[in-house]
Amino acid sequence: MGLSSIFRKFIMALTGLFLISFLLIHLIINLFTLAPSKDLFNEAAHFMATNPVIYVMQYVLALGFIIHIVMGIKLTIQNKIARSKNYAYNQMSKNTDFSSRSMIISGVLIILFLILHLRDYFYQMKFVGLPEGTTDYDLVVTLFSNPIYTGVYVFAFIVLGIHLNHGFKSAFQSMGANHNKYNPLIKAISTGYSIVISLGFSTIAIFHFINQYNFS
């Protein structure tokens, strides 16, 4: 394994951990939509949209995501070449878990969902603008009133959870945290984090979809 390959894995791990941190913040803010008053989420959304630090960070986040994708594509191509030349490596890869084997597929699905997500939220808020009298909270509720959109959203975060389950622990290993003493803990945190993210975002979507019917 050449130095360039090690460097790519390190950069991919670093950007991955950055994106993982963003997801947790994003989930916390979205949980505000479950509050009794919609003002809490609207105020948080306004802060995120007007804070100059957040404004700069959104471009840093976009750059990090692009780098993560590029490194992922390069490593995938490199691994495919290695598997075609090395039978032992290929046999070993069959023993890896599902989340590891499906990284490229889950990655592509996540990119497709991100495009949809940016179109419906970021593009709508930044470039089109919300109709007069419509708040950020109202947009969330409107989108999740659609069963197809809600289903796609939940499916996307299940896929993301699978992707994170391998990506989280792989990132630490790529950055040197690979020891028999700590690997079980890293694996446990990775699994727990992926479940929290997947279940958290999915719960928000399902809550708003069900809440529109006012069963109480």
User: What tens-digit pLDDT sequence spans the chain (216 residues)?
Assistant: 444 667 777 787 788 888 888 899 999 999 999 998 899 999 998 888 888 888 888 888 888 888 888 887 777 777 666 666 555 445 545 556 777 777 888 888 999 999 999 888 887 777 777 788 889 999 999 999 999 999 999 999 999 999 988 888 887 777 777 777 778 888 898 899 999 999 999 999 999 999 988 755
**Taking the complete model, does pTM exceed 0.85, yes or no?**
no
Tokens of 43: 């105020």
Residue type, 114: L
Alpha carbons 141 and 44: distance in angstroms, whole number: 16
216 in any annotated domain? no
Q: Rounded distance, CA 181 to CA 142, Å?
A: 48
Domain hosting 194: range is 3-211
Tokens, residue 54: 């957040």
Q: How far is CA 164 from the centre of its chain?
A: 7
Query: Is 110 contained in some domain?
Result: yes
Q: For residue 167, is it within any domain?
A: yes
Cβ atoms of residues 15 and 71 within 8 Å: yes
207: three-class secondary structure by DSSP: helix
For residues 186 and 169, the answer to whether their CB atoms sit within 8 Å is yes
User: Residues with Cβ < 8 Å from 5, sequence gap 6 or more?
Assistant: 75, 78
Q: Cβ-count burial of 176 within 10 angstroms (0-12 exposed, 13-18 middle, 19+ buried)?
A: exposed
Q: Residue 126: which CATH number? A: 1.20.1300.10
Residues 6+ apart with CB under 8 A from 118: none
Q: Is residue 179 part of a domain?
A: yes
The total number of structural domains in the chain stands at: 1
Residues in the chain: 216
Containing 151, the helix (H) or strand (E) segment is helix 147-174
Closest CA to 15 of 183, 208, 170: 170
